[in-house]
């Protein structure tokens, strides 16, 4: 059997964009009740492009089924963004922390929450700065 219907995808498929809260893993988005509040907007075959709130991962989801209060989605693609930067010294008194959309990633002292430096666009830049800071303090 040969295809009889062919039309541009932009007329048939809508791609939504979603940014979950920082710390929400992809697994949470795959639960049908995660989409409860937006079910009326979704249709089978639509896609949802997801960028984590802190920019740490990206995914493309396919809407497989939609009910009144839940939507079944499946991850077509999932990519962890950035590289893991290990601290040069273990048990350091600082940590890299997401500080929000304005301050982005920052290096924070664990004991009192003092911000050493922030506004790093990605986690690995903050981690590299922290490693350089620790090495310069050791000299």
Q: Rounded to two decimals, what is the model's pTM?
A: 0.76
Q: Is the pLDDT score of 48 beyond 80?
A: yes
Q: What pLDDT is attached to residue 8? A: 87
User: Where does the pLDDT of residue 106 fall: very low under 50, low under 70, confident under 90, or very high at 90 and above?
Assistant: very high
Dist CA 125 CA 105 (whole Å): 9
Of 67, 63, 55, 44, nearest to 20 by C-alpha is 55
DSSP element (H, E) containing 129:
helix 123-138
CA distance linking residue 75 with residue 61, whole number of Å: 4
Q: Tens digit of pLDDT for each residue in 12-36?
A: 889 999 999 988 999 999 999 999 9
Query: Given a cut of 90, is residue 91 above it in pLDDT?
Result: no
């Amino acid at each position: 059997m040969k295809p009889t219907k062919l039309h541009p995808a932009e007329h048939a498929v809508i791609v939504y964009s979603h940014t979950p809260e920082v710390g929400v893993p992809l697994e949470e988005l795959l639960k049908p009740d995660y989409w409860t509040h937006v079910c009326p907007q979704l249709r089978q075959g639509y896609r949802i492009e997801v960028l984590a709130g802190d920019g740490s991962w990206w995914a493309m989801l396919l809407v497989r089924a939609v009910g009144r209060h839940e939507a079944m989605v499946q991850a077509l693609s999932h990519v962890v963004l950035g590289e893991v930067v290990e601290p040069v010294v273990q048990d350091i008194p600082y940590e890299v922390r997401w500080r929000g959309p304005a301050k982005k990633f920052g290096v924070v002292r664990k004991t009192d929450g003092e911000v050493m430096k922030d506004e790093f666009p990605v986690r690995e830049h903050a981690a590299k700065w922290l490693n350089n800071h620790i090495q310069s303090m050791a000299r």
